[in-house]
Amino acid sequence: MDRQEFLISSPIGLLDFPETIEVQHTGFDISAYHQNLFGHHQVDFPGNLGKAVDKRCAEYLAGRIVARKAIERINSTKPKIGTHEDRSPIWPQGLIGSITHSDGVVIAAVAEQKHHRLLGIDFEHWMSAELAGELCDQLLDQSEKQLLLQSDLAFERGVTLIFSLKESFYKALYPHVNTFFGFDEARVRSIDTTNGAFIIELLTSFGKEYQQGWSIKGCFKVLSDGVLTYIYG
């Protein structure tokens, strides 16, 4: 089984990121996955995947492949990217990064810490109207629901977008706060669908630096089958 059977063309297309952030992405065929592919791609198989289903293993492998490619574009090295006990990636010294995957698509963003302290990226396929209705109250507070009503987004796309925005926010902050926080501890304050921009704020405090009310701007790109969101700072 060769690389071409597992890694396939990406449906994402060209992405417009700052020059200081290297982004790589690929499609992958879960049905073509086999554990031997870890050795083929020189990626260590982590112990915590020992009993994981093929889907989870394939996502992990594809994520490490594109993350390593992004790092190589930055500094011409091909490091092994380990895994913390909390399952977050162990980035090489001087680098930060974020990996996202959804139904056969994986994207990695990497940057040097001398350029950025925060980096979070998320890609979500559009939810169905039924699923969005089921999850809405878990993901959105009343002000966010009102925000969607005032926007030009279809309900299910709006719920998907806010879910993804909060995922990117969590990924960007987690390495600094080292604490899990839920959807109800962040609030999307504004969404600019014309320019693909948003502002999100903390509703709780994590130490002196990240206090309640701390906010940051982010970006999103609407795609045909999903939405890509990202935060950097």
Going residue by residue through the chain, which has 233 residues, state the pLDDT in tens, using 9 for 90 and above.
444 589 999 988 889 899 999 999 999 999 999 999 999 999 999 988 988 999 999 999 999 999 999 999 999 999 999 999 888 999 999 999 999 999 999 999 999 999 999 999 999 999 999 999 999 999 999 999 999 999 999 999 999 999 999 999 999 999 999 999 999 999 999 999 999 999 999 999 998 999 999 999 999 999 989 999 999 99
Nearest to 123, CA basis, from 95, 104, 149, 142: 104
pLDDT at position 142 is 97
- Sign of the Cα pseudo-torsion (30, 35, 36, 38, in order): positive
* pLDDT of amino acid 4: 52
β-bridge mates for residue 217, sequence order: 199
Rounded distance, CA 72 to CA 69, Å? 5
The three-point CA angle 84-88-91 to 5° equals 80
Q: Is the dihedral of CA 115, 125, 78, 70 positive or negative?
A: negative
Report the amino acid identity of residue 154: A
45 φ, ψ (degrees, to nearest 5): -85, 115
Rounded distance between C-alpha atoms, residue 115 and residue 113, angstroms: 5
What is the distance, to the nearest Å, from the Cα of residue 202 to the centroid of all Cα atoms in its chain? 18
What is the predicted pLDDT for the residue at 5?
Answer: 85
Q: Which two tokens stand for residue 192?
A: 């600019």
